[in-house]
Amino acid sequence: MSQTFLGMPHAPAGVGHLHGDRPFPDAARDALANTQLRRNLGHATATIRAKRASVVGELDDWEELRLAGEALKAYTMAHLDRLLPQLEAAVTARGGVVHWARDATEANQIVVDLVRATGTDEVVKVKSMATAEIGLNEALAAAGIAAVETDLAELIVQLGHDEPSHILVPAIHRNRAEIREIFLREMPGVDPELTDEPRRLAMAARAHLRAKFLTTKVAISGANFGIAETGTITVVESEGNGRMCLTLPDTLITVMGIEKVVPTWTDLEVFLQLLPRSSTGERMNPYTSTWTGVTPGDGPQTFHLVLVDNGRTAVLADPAGRSALHCIRCSACLNVCPVYERAGGHAYGSVYPGPIGAVLTPQLTGAATSLPYASSLCGACFDACPVRIDIPSMLVHLRSTQPHPATERAAFEAVAWTMASAGRFRLGERLLRLGRLIARRGRIRRLPPPLSAWTDTRDLPAPPQQTFRDWWSAR
């Protein structure tokens, strides 16, 4: 992969949250041993799967919407070098300022400089995958600027000095009792009688953030969609923390991945149906805000849009992998994935966990990783994806680009050599029958090294007494 697309830089290491510090199998092994985590995840993903299935079933044109979404994304990627300047021109014409960032380091510097120029040392934030990806909070902290996360789950993660583990619900790995503990420990002035009832916990967050919303001068958001035709930016949310940040401060800084552009206002009708039903299992999320540049007398009077590449053009350059950029961050693929449900999001070592993360992360970073193997290739993610990203095929494609262990390579070369000749294949079949000698009750439980790498985690069925060819010739 890297040779073909030399000159298309990936997301740099050492900044942001794409490069995990442990291989997936190691991190997953620890996660699997955490029974509380598995219980929390199993409960949450089962709940959301049922809700999604119910609201998707209400629409008899769901498949037509998916097909339109898929084609719209393919169209957008093919015309990105026209649509982005169109978006820039429209935002600028309405009083916004557009910035371009090649990577996370540049994007962080742009935002830090913009915040510094306002003279403030505290910003409120709307939950945003792009800013988590580039590690903006850490960059702001290094510059002496406090970033207050206002989404309830992000607040739980931030107060718990924790890492997000899900695209939509970053605190999905925490249950109500753990959240209560975190609030009691970390939230200044919290009611010591706080119970673990979800409503009481949500009210505690409301009280905690209310004054911040009414007084903070600068807000930072991501963007779900940026409409090239009109320059309209869209944020989809539930709690109203988004509306607070997008409406009340004087200055709004929006960080948007370059793939989030949508050609026309009309095209939004497809995504506003696909996204809420796929993500929270709602017909429509409680609040969607759209704004175009600056509106005199209403909302922030200074608006900056930061367009970020950070490895996206490297993804675009791989014909077999570029549709990973079609992702609208609904997280439906996480919720249906048997691997995600058991291992949880932290094991993936990236802000993008689950099936989409297993394809997007290695492509954005260009680094060697075991992530494409973090899947059973069952195909549930493709069925759930609202824009029909063929994640299983991309996982197979990415596996072929990753380095393989020497033993595995030697084994497959031997298989290829054997299968290339009918005589060798016949001999090989006979030799395989020797495996019956080490089988017990029809299973082989342990092979000698290096083949033990296979039998450490699963049994092999004993080879049959008679091969198909023997049976056929004796028939």
Partner 1 sequence: MSARDDILARIHAANTGIAAPPVPRDYRRTGTHAPGDAELLELFTDRLVDYKATVVPCTPATLAATLADICRDWTVVVPAGSASSVPGAVVDDGLSYAQLDALDAVLTGCAAACAETGTIALDAGPDQGRRAVTLIPDRHICVVRADQVVHTVPELLARLDPTRPLTFISGPSATSDIELHRVEGVHGPRTLIVVLVTLSGGLRRRA
Q: Which residues in the 123-182 window bind partner 1 by CB under 8 A?
A: 150-153, 156, 169, 171-172, 175-176, 179
Return d(Cα 36, Cα 48) in angstroms, integer: 19
Q: Is the peptide bond before 286 cis (omega within 30 degrees of 0)?
A: no
Which of 30, 186, 282, 459 binds partner 1 (CB under 8 A)? It is 282
Nearer to partner 1 (CB atom), residue 195 or residue 421: 195
Alpha helices in 344-446 (DSSP H): 354-365, 380-384, 391-401, 406-419, 422-432
Q: Considering beta carbons, is residue 220 or 316 the nearer one to partner 1?
A: 316
Q: Between 206 and 397, whose beta carbon lies closer to partner 1?
A: 206
47/40 Cα distance (integer angstroms): 11
Residue linked to tokens 């759209």? 290
Judged by CB under 8 A, the chain residues 236 through 255 that form the site for partner 1 are 238-241, 243-244, 247-248
* Of the candidates 435, 462, 467, 461, the residue with the CA atom closest to the CA atom of residue 448: 435
Closest approach of partner 1 to the CB of residue 175, in Å? 6
Distance CA 346, CA 291 (A): 34
Nearer to partner 1, 91 or 380 (CB): 91
Nearer to partner 1 by C-beta: 249 or 392?
Answer: 249
Least Å from the CB of residue 273 to partner 1: 5
Nearer to partner 1, 20 or 164 (CB): 164
User: Is 85 among the residues that bind partner 1 (CB under 8 A)?
Assistant: yes
Q: Which of 33, 214, 420, 474 lies at the binding interface for partner 1 (CB under 8 A)?
A: 214
Shortest distance, position 146 Cβ to partner 1, whole Å? 19
Task: Tell which residue, 366, 457, 455, 451, has the closest CA to residue 415.
Answer: 451
Return the residues of window 92-121 that contact partner 1 according to CB under 8 A: 94, 100-102, 106
Are 347 and 24 a contacting pair, CB within 8 Å?
Answer: yes
Q: Which stretch binds partner 1 (CB under 8 A): 47-55, 185-193, 380-388, 414-422?
A: 47-55
CA 362, CA 10: separation in Å to the nearest integer? Answer: 10
Judge whether 175 and 36 are in contact, CB under 8 Å: yes
Instruction: Tell me which residues in 446-475 interact with partner 1 (CB under 8 A).
Output: none
Binding to partner 1 in span 251-280, by CB under 8 A: 258, 265-266, 268-270, 272-273, 276, 280
Structure tokens that stand for 384 in this block: 């759930």
Beta-carbon count within 10 A of 95 CB: 15
Q: Using the rule CB under 8 A, is 199 a contact of partner 1?
A: yes
Is residue 372 within 8 A of residue 402, CB to CB? The reply is yes
Nearer to partner 1, 72 or 462 (CB): 72
